[in-house]
Amino acid sequence: MTTATLSLSELTAAASKAASTAAAASDAERAGWLNAVADALDANTAELVEIADSETRLGSVRLTGEVARTSGQLRLFARVVTEGSYLEAVIDHADPSAIPPKPDLRRILRPIGPVAVFSASNFPFAFSVAGGDTASALAVGCSVIVKAHSGHLKLSERTAEVVTGALRSAGAPEGLFSLVSGREVGTALVQDPAIKAVGFTGSIPGGRALFDLAASRPDPIPFYGELGSLNPVVITGAALAERSGELAAGLAASFTLGAGQFCTKPGLVFIPAGTRFAAELAEASKDKPTAAMLTTRIADAYPDGLRSVAAVPNVVIVSGTADQDATRDGAAPVVFSTSAANVLERPDELLEECFGPTTMLIEYSGKEELANVLAKVPGSLTATVHAQHGEDVLGLVEQLSGLAGRVLFDGWPTGVAVNWAQQHGGPYPATTSLFTSVGATAVRRFQRPVAYQDAPETVLHPALRESNPLGIPRRVDGELMLP
């Protein structure tokens, strides 16, 4: 299932063959494959965490928790496919008396085929070899070829061995899962005609280059990229008056978590002008330790990003310094401050993600100015509101809903629950699609609808047969029918 001795064309050919077998397998069979991989990851946690920590320096506590999240994701998708609603089975019976007459139509979602998955640097388990993209694709009957991230190559190879062994022992077809590495191979993978969709988590430049490749193929394919996110936070005057110290402590903990390398880090924080919140945040941030970053490239880029922000007119450093060597000493937290008027004047310079433990306070003078500056914020994964009970924030929430996929209240965006309701995706550049990469509906990325007209019962998927042998939820003649 994964071997360095096969060429890319041989791997994609094997993936195509395996995808046909997986698509024909029952939901229970595929759930068994996922649970087997989850069990294998749990059984090898100690070894995997040791390798991961040597490559990423994220620490055993964080990494052990991430393995648990990863195995939990696999088990969630096993439940998703056995519950059955993911198929979106719809039946409309024939109606000869209608004008014009209506045929018998039955629609279902089917797997799209072999999928390429690009691992992320900042989550070496949950968004990597056996992460959510891989799990959701395998769940619906797609084969997967993972492009390993160079930042944790040894971990990727060992994780792939664990996944391969578990799938083989569970009876999954050969070729269902494989691993490749290298930038050139990754580019070729996106262009390979056997690949029918791509899942990607990474930088805007890298993701956009692959997105354009996927769109420029003779047969363009879906590219589900999670690229960059500023994750705006809006704090009202009433909230600051009631709990500014609490808010400063919460924000300091959130933007420094994991050395600021979370895709949901709160990078922009909008506060009323003329408050002491900047000083309180500086106090709450001053003792946050420096932290090693994921790769040398990321550590080198962090101070460059800080200096670029610091050089923008009318930007003040509230806490920390842009003059640091994150590669040698670790990344130190930095808090910037500016005005909404300055952001409106220089949006291209100030509304750009800086990957690391830094955030920008933006002071606004009223609701109108706040609305105007929020209109300049690019698409994000999250948006957060801190207000007091009874405040009228409906208009604000409507605006934030238009620029983010998840809107939080009185909390912090770092931390993404893996469940049925989660939405981890937002307008570009947060993601390149309308779908989520976390939670139950992540499977929808790797399915396509097929309708069968006047089909004999013998050729129909069990979910579309009259007797509903799978016992799943379906919509029949417009009515939702529960088992």
DSSP 397-412: HHHHHHHEEEEEESS-
- pLDDT tens digits, one per residue of 444-456: 999 999 999 999 9
Statement to judge: residues 290 and 348 lie in one domain? yes
Q: Is residue 35 part of a domain?
A: yes
Q: Which residues have a catalytic role annotated?
A: 226, 263
Mean pLDDT of 187-194: 97
Statement to judge: residues 263 and 192 lie in one domain? no
At residue 4, the pLDDT reads 58
- pLDDT tens digits, one per residue of 307-364: 999 999 999 999 999 999 999 999 999 999 999 999 999 999 999 999 999 999 999 9
Statement to judge: residues 240 and 321 lie in one domain? yes
**CA-based torsion, 301, 307, 312, 317: positive or negative:** positive
Q: How many CB atoms lie within 10 A of CB 475?
A: 14
Statement to judge: residues 207 and 260 lie in one domain? no
Statement to judge: residues 184 and 299 lie in one domain? no
Q: Is residue 3 part of a domain?
A: no
pTM attached to this predicted model: 0.94
Mean pLDDT of 95-115: 97
Closest residue by Cα to residue 36 from 71, 67, 1, 11? 71
Q: Is residue 424 part of a domain?
A: no
- Please count the structural domains in the chain: 2
Q: Are 236 and 389 in contact (CB under 8 A)?
A: no
Statement to judge: residues 189 and 258 lie in one domain? no
- Is the pLDDT score of 386 beyond 50? yes
Statement to judge: residues 210 and 192 lie in one domain? yes
Q: Is residue 415 part of a domain?
A: no
Of all residues in the chain, what percent carry a pLDDT higher than 70? 99
Statement to judge: residues 69 and 207 lie in one domain? yes
Q: Are 48 and 186 in contact (CB under 8 A)?
A: no
Q: At which of 366, 393, 409 does a domain end?
A: 409
Q: Is residue 417 part of a domain?
A: no
Q: Is residue 437 part of a domain?
A: yes
Statement to judge: residues 366 and 400 lie in one domain? yes
Statement to judge: residues 388 and 348 lie in one domain? yes
At residue 2, the pLDDT reads 42
Statement to judge: residues 214 and 238 lie in one domain? no
Q: At which of 377, 409, 441 does a domain end?
A: 409
Q: What is the CATH number of the domain that holds 401?
A: 3.40.309.10
333 CB-near residues (< 8 Å, 6+ apart): 252, 255, 256, 260, 285, 288, 319, 320, 357, 358
**40-74 in b/e burial notation, b at 16+ Cβ within 10 A?**
bbbebbeebbebbbebbebeeeebbebbbbbbbbb
- Is the pLDDT score of 260 beyond 50? yes
- Is the pLDDT score of 1 beyond 50? no
Q: What is the CATH number of the domain that holds 92?
A: 3.40.605.10
Q: Is residue 418 part of a domain?
A: no
CA–CA gap between residue 278 and residue 481 (Å, rounded): 55
- pLDDT tens digits, one per residue of 7-56: 999 999 999 999 999 999 999 999 999 999 999 999 999 999 999 999 99
Mean pLDDT of 244-271: 97
At residue 483, the pLDDT reads 87
**431-453 in b/e burial notation, b at 16+ Cβ within 10 A?**
bbbebbbbbbbbbbbbbeeeebe
Q: At which of 376, 409, 442 does a domain end?
A: 409
At residue 470, the pLDDT reads 96
At residue 6, the pLDDT reads 84
Q: Is residue 200 part of a domain?
A: yes
Statement to judge: residues 280 and 338 lie in one domain? yes
CA–CA gap between residue 438 and residue 177 (Å, rounded): 20
Residue 86: give the domain boundaries. 8-227+433-481
